[in-house]
Amino acid sequence: MADPQQMEAAVHEYVAAFEAGDADRIGALYAEHATVEDPVGSPLKNGRTEILEFYRSSVATGAKLKLEGPVRVVADYAVFPFSVNLHWEGSDKRIDVIDTFRFDADGKVTEMRAFWGPANMHGFS
């Protein structure tokens, strides 16, 4: 199982990589055959290539992440509340999200699920 400190560090690296606008740094956190479900209920991104493409689009929006509470770490999971903040079409937007990261034994994320819905979007008209 991944080390708890390593799992928590991955979350902070995720936030820092968005701050730097560096999709490759984000992709490096994932295992080769990982899946990303963002938001939950949408089609999965399967594997490193699709995941990288997804994050290239994400960082291109200029979105920054802000942790909104402590990272919860248990078993092979790190789970954390955060906000996505972006300036888009002339106004500030915020989305309140909780992500679950599941890790493999090498400390790579194998499954990411992002929980946010319409009621969590603020500043969108």
Options 21, 47, 81, 123; binder of a second copy; rule CB under 8 A: 81
Count residues near a second copy (CB under 8 A).
27
- The tally of CA atoms less than 13 A away on the side-chain side of residue 28 is 10
**Position 47 contacts a second copy (CB under 8 A):** no
Q: Which distant-in-sequence residues (6+ apart) come within 8 Å of 118 by Cβ?
A: none
77 has catalytic annotation: no
Q: Which is nearer to a second copy, 13 or 37 (CB)?
A: 37
Question: Using CB under 8 A, which of 47, 96, 107, 123 touches a second copy?
Answer: 96
Give the tokens for residue 53.
Answer: 């493409």
Is 68 a residue that touches a second copy (CB under 8 A)? yes
Q: Cα angle vertex 12, ends 83, 71, to 5°?
A: 70
Do β-strands 109-115 and 121-122 pair in parallel, antiparallel, or remain unpaired?
A: unpaired
- Comparing CB distances to a second copy, the nearer of 55 and 80 is 80
| Of residues 117, 122, 93, the one with CA closest to residue 38 | 117
Chain residues binding a second copy by CB under 8 A are 4, 8, 39-41, 68-70, 72-77, 79-81, 96-98, 100, 115-120
